């Protein structure tokens, strides 16, 4: 899915989406993770709930930052491609191949930018679920 160095393939939008989907697995399973790692009140004496919540929070934030960085890196790369294609179109405004490629890249850029909005919704949902379950045991630091 991801390239060997752990980055997204920004050239292929479908691959970009697949890798993001895999990267979002942790958020998709946050309720399960909370249910299996944060014990109920009757079992809370057997586990350090504060430490468990802290580790879960740190994992969540790390996943959010990794995805945010990956998406923004692809947006920058695609923006650069769009810029080069605009320059090429300015030099040869009758070349339909360049115009077609420019439209394709602009569309891909818009889709990547919309992934930032999706990411915001996913992050908010995951943090809300986390706070509902761990607010008594662990208070995350203010950013």
Domain boundaries, the chain: 13-31+48-135
Mean pLDDT of 12-40: 89
Q: Do residues 30 and 126 make contact, with C-beta atoms less than 8 angstroms apart?
A: yes
Q: Give residue-wise pLDDT tens across range 60-100.
A: 999 999 999 999 999 999 999 999 999 999 999 899 999 99
Supply the pTM of this predicted model. Answer: 0.84
Give percent of the chain with pLDDT exceeding 70.
89
């Amino acid at each position: 899915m991801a390239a060997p160095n752990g980055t997204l393939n920004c050239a292929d939008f479908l691959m970009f989406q697949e890798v993001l989907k895999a990267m979002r697995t942790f958020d998709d399973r946050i309720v399960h993770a909370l249910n299996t790692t944060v014990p109920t009140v009757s079992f809370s004496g057997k586990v350090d709930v504060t430490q468990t919540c802290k580790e879960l929070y740190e994992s969540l934030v790390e996943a959010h930052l990794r995805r945010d960085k990956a998406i923004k890196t692809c947006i920058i790369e695609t923006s650069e491609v769009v810029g080069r294609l605009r320059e090429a179109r300015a030099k040869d405004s009758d070349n339909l191949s360049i115009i077609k490629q420019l439209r394709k890249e602009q569309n891909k850029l818009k889709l990547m930018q919309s992934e930032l909005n999706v990411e915001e919704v996913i992050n908010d949902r995951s943090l809300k679920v986390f706070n509902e379950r761990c607010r008594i045991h662990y208070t995350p630091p203010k950013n």
